[in-house]
Chains A and B, each alone.
Chain A
Amino acid sequence: MNNITGNPAFALELNELTVRYGPGCPSCGESPESLDRNRCPVCGSVWAVRGVSLRAREGETLGIVGESGSGKSTLMRALHLDEAPTSGAYFLDGGEENLFGVSPRRRRYIRDSLLGMVYQNPYLGLRMFFSSGANVAEKLIAAGSRNVRGMTERAEYLFRYMEIPFSRVKEPPRNFSGGMQQRVQIAKAVANNPPVLLLDEVTTGLDLSVQARVLDLIKRVQREFGVTMIVVSHDLAVVRLLADRTAVMRDGVIIEQGLTDRILEDPRHVYTQTLVNSML
C-alpha cells in the first residue's frame, strides 16, 4: 500500500500514517488488537493515529469527524509537518518526495509556501502579542516577501475579505473575540494562496451565529481560492456543510470513509450510525 511516489491524480496523498506517543513495546507493536482504545496497557504508549490513509483531488474538501481524542489534531499536525510521525508517507501534487523525510529547511519551505493551517487553539496559530496585520505578514515574509507596502496591502485586502474591521489591523489578536481570532488565522493561512488548507475545528467554541458566519467565509474561500481542504470537526453538521468526502475516525483509526452524502444517508459502521443519529 505504501507507494514511493505520489499519484498525480491527487493533490494530497497520505499513506499509512502512524503517530505513537511513547516508546511502544512488542505487545502493542505487533498486535494492535491488544490496545485499550488507543493506549497500550503494557507500555502505556498512546497510538494517537494508526495506519491512516487519505487522498484528496485538487479543489476537493475532505472532512474528518470523530469524537474527542480520536486523533484528529494529531493527524492535522502531521499533515502540517509540525511533528515527525512514527511512520507513513505523504505526497503533495503527485510529487516524488515523501514529505515526512525531507530536510528541515525544505520542510519549512513546504509549510510556508504550500500549506495553510488553522489551529484548533488560536494560541498555536497566532502570535498574540504582534499586530494582526503582522500575523498575516509573517506568512508572506516566510515565503520570501521583503516589501512592506505589498505585505501591508495584502493584509488589508485579506482583512476586508474576512470581514475584519480594518481599524483592527494594528491590534494584537489577544484583544479579539474567538470568532475574530479564527478569521485572522484564516487570513494568515490563505495569505500565500497555498494549494492546501488544513482547518482544525475552526468553529468549535464559537456562538452559533458566529459559527455560521465563519462557515460562510470558509465556503467562500473554498469557491474562490480553489484550494484543496482538509476540515476536521467533531461536529457532523460542519462536515456536511463543507466536505465532499468524509472520513470517520475513532481511537486513531479511520473506521469508515466515503462521499459525505453517502456517509450521512447510509452509515455502515455502527459507530457512524450512532454519530449520524445523534446529529438528527
Chain B
Amino acid sequence: MVKKRSKHYNFAFLDEGSKRVIRRALLKAVAIPGYQVPFGSRELPIGRGWGTGGLQITLSVIGPGDVLKVIDQGSDDSVNALSIRNFVTACTGVETTTDSGEATLIQSRHRIPEAPLKAGQIMALQVPMPEPLRLVEPHEAVTRVMHAEMDYAPMWLALYESIVRTGDIELGADYPVMVEDRYMMMPSPIPRFDNHKLHMSPALFLFGAGREKKIYALPPYTRVVSLAFDDHPFRVESTHGRVCRLCGAADVYFDEFFDSATGGRLYQCSDSGYCEKRRRAGARATEPAAPTA
C-alpha cells in the first residue's frame, strides 16, 4: 500500500542535520556492538515514552524505497502501531506491509517477529530503559565506568542473590544479554522467548531510547548471550502444550485471553502478521480452539 507523502515536512519529518546526528550515533553504535551511544534526542509530534527513540531511528534510516512494518506488542493493528505507521507514511510515502518477510525496515515495540529475519533487514526497537546496570547502580556516571571496566560483578551478584533467595532469576521481559562477551545490554522489553532471535541474526538491530537519549546496535551476526549461570541456565517463557486458536501455531509467543464462555484460557499468536500469513496459506487451529483450564 503506497500513500502520498505530505509536502509540508522534509522527507521523513526530521531535517537532514538531525538525521545526520542520529546516523552518526548509529554508525558508532554499529561499530561497538552493545555499547550505548549518547545522542541528541529530537522532539517529535508524539509523546516521549511512546517510542520516540525507535521512531527517530526509523526516520533517520528510512529511504523512499523501503518497505515498512510497524509492530506494537506483536500487533500491526494496535492504536500505537497504526499512528506510528500513519505518521511515517505521511512524511515519507513509503510502502508498508504486515508481512515481516517483505519488510526492509521493521519498527517494533516488545516483540521480534516469529519468522526468522533475513540479511538486509533492519529492525528498529523502542527502548524505555537502556541501562541494564540501573538495577544495581543508580548513577549514570558510575554505570558508564562499570561498562568501560567491564565491572559486571554487581549485576551477576544480584542474579545470584535472586537465585539463592527465591530459587530463580526474577527477571521477566527485557532480560539482559552479553554482547560479544563485552557489553551487557538490555534487549528492550521483548519477552525472554525472543532473546535468542538476537543471536547471530543476519539482520541489523538498532535500539533507540528517546527519553534516555541513548542508541545502541547489534550488527548482523553478532554473538548475543542471555545472562545465566552454568548450573542455572537461561529459560524462556513456557509455550508448552499451547496452540494458537486461530492458526494452530505452536512454539510461538502467545497472547493469553480469558474465555468468559468456558472460563478457560485461550491463546493466540502475539505476532499478528505471522498468524495472518499462516491463515492466508490455509493454516487453521487443529482442534476447535480447545480451552485449557
Contacts and interface: CB of A to CB of B under 8 A. Distances in A.
Contacts of B154: 138
Interface residues of B, number: 19
Interface in B141-186: 145, 148-151, 153-154, 156-157, 160-161, 163-165
A135 B142 CA distance: 20
B232 interface: yes
Interface stretch (A41-49, A85-93, A126-134): A126-134
A105 B164 contact: no
A147 B164 contact: no
Interface string A119-130: 000000001001
Contacts of B148: 104
Majority SS of interface residues in chain A? helix
B149 A108 contact: yes
A270 interface: no
Given A108-B149, A146-B230, A131 B164 contact: yes
A147 B231 contact: yes
Given A104-B148, A149-B231, A138 B164 contact: no
B231 A134 contact: no
B257 interface: no
A170 interface: yes
Contacts of A134: 157, 160-161, 164
A138 B230 contact: no
Contact of B161 (A104, A105, A108, A130): A130
A105 B153 CA distance: 13
A5 interface: no
Given A131-B161, A141-B157, A105 B230 contact: no
Contact of B160 (A104, A105, A151): A151
Contacts of B165: 131, 170
B145 to A, nearest CB: 8
A152 B228 CA distance: 16
B149 A146 contact: no
A142 interface: yes
A148 interface: yes
B160 A147 contact: no
Given A131-B161, A131-B164, A147-B231, A138 B153 contact: yes
A248 to B, nearest CB: 37
Interface string A134-158: 1001100110001111111000000
Given A147-B229, A148-B231, A170-B165, A108 B151 contact: yes
A37 to B, nearest CB: 35
Contact of A148 (B145, B153, B164): B164
Contacts of B145: 104
B153 A141 contact: yes
Contacts of A170: 164-165
Contacts of B149: 104-105, 108
Contacts of A105: 149-150
Nearest to B161: A134
A68 to B, nearest CB: 31
B231 A138 contact: no
Contact of A141 (B156, B230, B231): B156
B281 to A, nearest CB: 44
A141 B160 CA distance: 9
Contacts of B232: 148
Contacts of A138: 153-154, 157
B44 to A, nearest CB: 38
A108 to B, nearest CB: 6
Nearest to B149: A104
Contacts of B153: 112, 138, 141-142
Interface of B: 145, 148-151, 153-154, 156-157, 160-161, 163-165, 228-232
Given A105-B149, A112-B153, 14 more contacts: A104-B148, A108-B150, A127-B157, A134-B157, A134-B164, A141-B157, A141-B160, A142-B153, A146-B156, A148-B163, A148-B231, A148-B232, A151-B160, A152-B164
**Chain A to chain B: the 8 pairs with minimum beta-carbon distance, closest first:** A142-B153, A134-B161, A141-B156, A147-B230, A104-B149, A148-B229, A141-B153, A138-B157
8 contacts: A105-B149, A131-B161, A133-B164, A141-B156, A141-B157, A146-B228, A146-B229, A149-B231
